[in-house]
Structure 1
Amino acid sequence: MLDETPADDSADDPRPRDPEEHDTGGTDDGPPAPRPTPRAVVQSFGMLAASVLVGVLAVMPAPYAVNGPGPTADVLGEVDGDPLIEVEGAPTYPSTGELRLTTISGVGGPGYPAYLLDVLRGWLSPSSVARPAEDVYPQGVSRKEIDESNAGLMVSSQENATVAALTELGYDVPATLVVAGTVEGADAADKLEEGDVLTAMDGVPLPDYQSLVSRLAEVEPGDTVTLTVTRHSRTVDVPVVTGEREGGGAQIGVFVDPSFEMPVDVSINIEGIGGPSAGTMFALGLVDLLTPEDEAAGQVIAGTGTIDVTGAVGPIGGIRQKLAGAVRDGASWFLAPEDNCDEVVGHVPDGLRVVSVGTLSEAREAMVAIGAGETQDLPTCTAD
C-alpha cells in the first residue's frame, strides 16, 4: 500500500511500520478482504470461457444457409403511400380484405454469411431451417448475380400474373410468339430458328399464347404439326414432329418468348423482394381490384405460388416458413400450391387453414368462398 501521508508529517512520526501491512490486502478502514474460494475461481473461469465461446459463435461463419419467416405484404394495400398494384385504363374497386404475399428471410448465401449462432437458432426454431449452403445456393455465383437473377424472375412473375389475371377476367391479351431457342434433340431443333415468329399451327392462327396452349392440348405426342412462322419477313411452313412434355401432353420443342400487348396498364410497386413465388398473389390481387365484388370481404388471406401466363400455379420453396409468417401477420387462411402439399401436411400453425390450389381460377374460387363464409368444400392438403 502506498503511503499517502505528507512527507513532512511522517518524518515526525516515530512509530515503526508493520512489515506485513502491504501483504494482507487490508486497509486502514476495515479488515482484510477474504481470499477467493476454489469454487469461486472455477466459476469465474467457467463464465469467462462461456463468454469467449459465445463471442466465437457470434463471429465464426458456418457453411450453412438458414431460412426463416420473412415479411408479408398486402397486395391490395399500399407501399410508402402508393398502391402496391396500380392500374390505368380500367376502373378499380376497393376491398375490405387483405391478400398477403409471403416471403422467407435468410442468411448463408454469398455476401450474407451465416454464423454458428444463426445455425443453432435455425436448428432450434420450429419455423426455421438450416441446411448446407450448397443445397440452397448455386456454387461459384456472386451475390450480385443472385440478386440480378431474382430481380429478373420477379419482373417475369409480374408480367405472367398480369396476363393470367386479365385472361381470367375475359380480356384478350394479344402476343407475338417469338422463338427464343429449341430443345436439344427435338425435331424442331434443326427446323426452327431463334427469332422465328409463330403465327399459325395447322392453318389455325395463333394470336396469343393461350391459343398455342389450346392447340397443343389437342395434339398427341408424336403427331406432326405444321407451324407457320415469319422468318426474315418471309412466311414459312415448317412440319414438326411433336415430343412429350414433362407431366404429359405434346410439345413442339421450342422455347417461346412472348411479347404481350396489354389491354390494361398494370404496375406493381414492390422492392426488396425477388423471385417468382409472389405471382399467384399478384394475379389474385389484380382480379380483386378489377371486379366490383368485395371478394375477400374482410378476411386476411395469405398465399404463395408461381404462376404462368395460362394461370397454372406452381410450387415454391420455403412453404413452412411462409406458413409461419402468414399466421404471425394475422392471416387465418393460406392458399398453397397443390404441388407443395406434401410439405404442408403436419406443419400448419395453429389458427391457420390451408387451401390447396392448382390454378388461378381455383385460387379465385377459394377467395370468393372464404369471403362468403362458405368454406366447407374447399380442398386442403392431406397426407397420401
Structure 2
Amino acid sequence: MLTTLAAGRTKILGFGHRPRAAAPLVANATRASPADPERTAVAFFSPPRTAPSSERRAGRWGWPLLGAAAVSAVALSLLPSPYLIEQPGPVFDTLGSADYEGKSQPLITVSGHETYPTSGTLDLLTVSVQGNQDVRPGWVDVVGAWADRSRSVIPVEAVYPSGVSNDQVDEQNAVDMQNSQKSAVAAALIHEGYSVPSAVTVSQVSEGSPAEGVLREGDVLVSVNGTSLATDADVDVLRGLVAANGASSPAEVVVDRAGTTVTEQVTPEEVSGTPLLGVGVSVDYTYPFDVTLKLDQVGGPSAGMMFALGIIDKTTPGELNGGEAVAGTGTITASGEVGAIGGIRQKLYGARDAGATVFLAPASNCSEVVGNVPAGLDVYSVATLDDAVTALETIADGGDTGSLPTCTAAR
C-alpha cells in the first residue's frame, strides 16, 4: 500500500435533542368537563400537586444519573480505540509536478532520451492512515469511519505488526517505495524493448543480526545455497531460500564484493517463527538512460504501475491516455507483472474526488473492487503492464472499451 501518514479528517457528530414547543398562553382557561373531553384545559392557579415520596426520590437521583451517563459517554468518545482508520490520501499526477524537499519538481525526469508532450493525467493514489501504535483514533472518529464508505476501520496490527516500531514501519515503507520506483523504470524500459541488467544488493545489515560482520552493505548477492539471484522477483525467492534453510544450520551465501567473488556462511536467526539473515536488500538496475522519480513523504510499493505508465507516456510519441483523466494503482515487477495493493476502496474514492473517470485496478484486487466503485468511474482490470497499456491505447483511440477486462463478482 501507498501510505501517507497524516492527521485524518474528523467528522463531528452532533448529538442533541429536539426543543419542545412552548406552551400557549391561555387567557381564559377553564377546566375540562367529562362531557367535553377534547376541550383543552390549563389551570393556572390550581395548587401544585405534591409528588409522592417515591417520585421525589426518583427525581433526586434521576438528574445525577443522567449527568453521570453523559460524562461517561463523553469520556468513552475520547478514549483511544484499538483501531486505525484508512482514508483517501493525496493524489499525484505522474505526468505533473509535486513538492519535493520544499520545491515543486516533476515526478518524472528523463535525461539522455527524447521526451514528448503529454496531456490529461496518470494519477497515482495514496491512503492516509489515521493513528499509529502510540496515538489511536478516538471512538467518535471510529464510529464516523464505520459510517463512511470511503474509509475503513482496521486493527493496529494490520499496519504496525507486534514487535515492530513506528519508525521501522516507516523505514520499510520508504525502502518499498525506492524499490518500486526502480522496478517501474525497469518495467517501462523493458516494455519499450531495452535491455536492463539487474542485481540484488545488500542495502542494510541489522545490528546484532547473524549477518553483522559477515555480509556488508553494497555486497551483490550472487546465490544462496546454490540458487542464483538477479532480479526483483528473486527478492521473494531469497526469503523462501532462507526459510527453507531454517535456523539450525548455516546458509551458503555467495556475494560479489567490489568485483571479487566471496563465499560466506550465515546461520539465520528465528524471529517470530521466521528464519532471517538480518539484511535488507534492494534491486539495482543498469538503465540505458537516466530516469529520475521524485515523490516526497510517501511510502510503500503500490505506485509502481502508474510510474511505469508515466515513463512510457513521456518517452514515446502521442498521448498514451488520449488526454483523459486516468488514475490507477498496483505494484510492478521489472518483468511487468502488476500486483495487489492495500486500501483499494480508499483509492477508488480518492480517484473519483480528484476528477478521474478511468481507473486501472490490479486484477488480484477485483474482489475488493466489486460493489465499491463510486459513480462516474470506469474500472478496468489489469494483470500486467501490457494490459494497462492496451487499456489506455483503446481509450485513446476511441476503441471498444467493452472488450476490456473489468472486475466482476465471483460466481
Deviations along 1:20-60, whole A, 9 cap, x unmatched?
A: xxxxxxxxxxxxxxxxxx9xx99998996687456435531
1:66 touches 1:106 (CA, 8 Å); kept in 2?
Answer: yes
Q: Does structure 1 residue 75 correspond to structure 2 residue 106?
A: no
Greater Cα radius of gyration, structure 1 or 2:
1
The correspondence of residues 71-150 of structure 1 with structure 2, limited to 5 A, is: 71-80=90-99, 81-150=104-173
Aligned CA distance change for structure 1 residues 112 and 73 (closer, same or farther; 3 Å) = farther
What displacement does 1:179 show? 9.2
Aligned CA distance change for structure 1 residues 196 and 326 (closer, same or farther; 3 Å) = closer
What displacement does 1:148 show? 0.7
1:110 touches 1:141 (CA, 8 Å); kept in 2?
Answer: no
1:72 touches 1:101 (CA, 8 Å); kept in 2?
Answer: yes
Query: Partners of 1:46 and 1:351 in 2: how far apart?
Result: 50
Deviations along 1:53-102, whole A, 9 cap, x unmatched?
A: 56435531010111112121111111143211111111211211101111
2:182 touches 2:283 (CA, 8 Å); kept in 1?
Answer: no
Q: Which moved more, 1:103-112 or 1:288-297?
A: 103-112
Query: Partners of 1:362 and 1:345 in 2: how far apart?
Result: 19
Q: Which residue in 1 is equivalent to 2:407?
A: 381
Paired letter, 2:346: Q
Q: Which residue in 1 is equivalent to 2:307?
A: 282
Deviations along 1:181-228, whole A, 9 cap, x unmatched?
A: xxxxxxxxxxxx9967659xxxxxx9x74999xxxxxxxxxxxxxxx9
The correspondence of residues 113-192 of structure 1 with structure 2, limited to 5 A, is: 113-176=136-199
| TM-align CA RMSD | 3.8
Structure 2 unpaired stretches of 5+: 1-55, 204-214, 224-228, 235-253, 263-279
What displacement does 1:302 show? 0.7
Query: Partners of 1:306 and 1:264 in 2: how far apart?
Result: 23
The correspondence of residues 265-344 of structure 1 with structure 2, limited to 5 A, is: 265-344=290-369
Query: Partners of 1:296 and 1:196 in 2: how far apart?
Result: 38
Q: 1:64 aligns with which of 65, 83, 86?
A: 83
- SS of the residue corresponding to residue 402 of structure 2 reads coil
Query: Partners of 2:76 and 2:354 in 1: how far apart?
Result: 31
TM-score with structure 1 length normalisation? Answer: 0.68
What displacement does 1:298 show? 2.0
Paired letter, 1:336: A
2:359 touches 2:380 (CA, 8 Å); kept in 1?
Answer: yes
Paired letter, 2:323: G
Q: Which residue in 1 is equivalent to 2:390?
A: 365
Query: Partners of 1:332 and 1:229 in 2: how far apart?
Result: 48
Paired letter, 1:165: A
Query: Partners of 2:66 and 2:351 in 1: how far apart?
Result: 40
Paired letter, 1:155: Q
What displacement does 1:371 show? 2.1
Query: Partners of 2:114 and 2:184 in 1: how far apart?
Result: 18
What displacement does 1:176 show? 4.0
- SS of the residue corresponding to residue 267 of structure 1 reads strand
Query: Partners of 2:233 and 2:339 in 1: how far apart?
Result: 21
Query: Partners of 1:337 and 1:48 in 2: how far apart?
Result: 52
Query: Partners of 2:140 and 2:232 in 1: how far apart?
Result: 50
Query: Partners of 1:59 and 1:343 in 2: how far apart?
Result: 32
Query: Partners of 2:62 and 2:320 in 1: how far apart?
Result: 63
Query: Partners of 2:335 and 2:144 in 1: how far apart?
Result: 40
Paired letter, 2:90: P
- SS of the residue corresponding to residue 403 of structure 2 reads coil
The correspondence of residues 245-264 of structure 1 with structure 2, limited to 5 A, is: 258-264=283-289
1:179 touches 1:198 (CA, 8 Å); kept in 2?
Answer: no
What displacement does 1:372 show? 2.3
What displacement does 1:112 show? 3.7
Deviations along 1:348-382, whole A, 9 cap, x unmatched?
A: 11111111001111111111112222222111011
Aligned CA distance change for structure 1 residues 105 and 233 (closer, same or farther; 3 Å) = closer
Query: Partners of 2:297 and 2:283 in 1: how far apart?
Result: 27
- SS of the residue corresponding to residue 368 of structure 2 reads helix
Aligned CA distance change for structure 1 residues 52 and 362 (closer, same or farther; 3 Å) = same
Aligned CA distance change for structure 1 residues 113 and 286 (closer, same or farther; 3 Å) = same
Aligned CA distance change for structure 1 residues 61 and 261 (closer, same or farther; 3 Å) = same
Query: Partners of 1:317 and 1:349 in 2: how far apart?
Result: 18
Query: Partners of 2:72 and 2:189 in 1: how far apart?
Result: 57
Paired letter, 1:169: E
What displacement does 1:124 show? 0.9
Deviations along 1:6-29, whole A, 9 cap, x unmatched?
A: xxxxxxxxxxxxxxxxxxxxxxxx
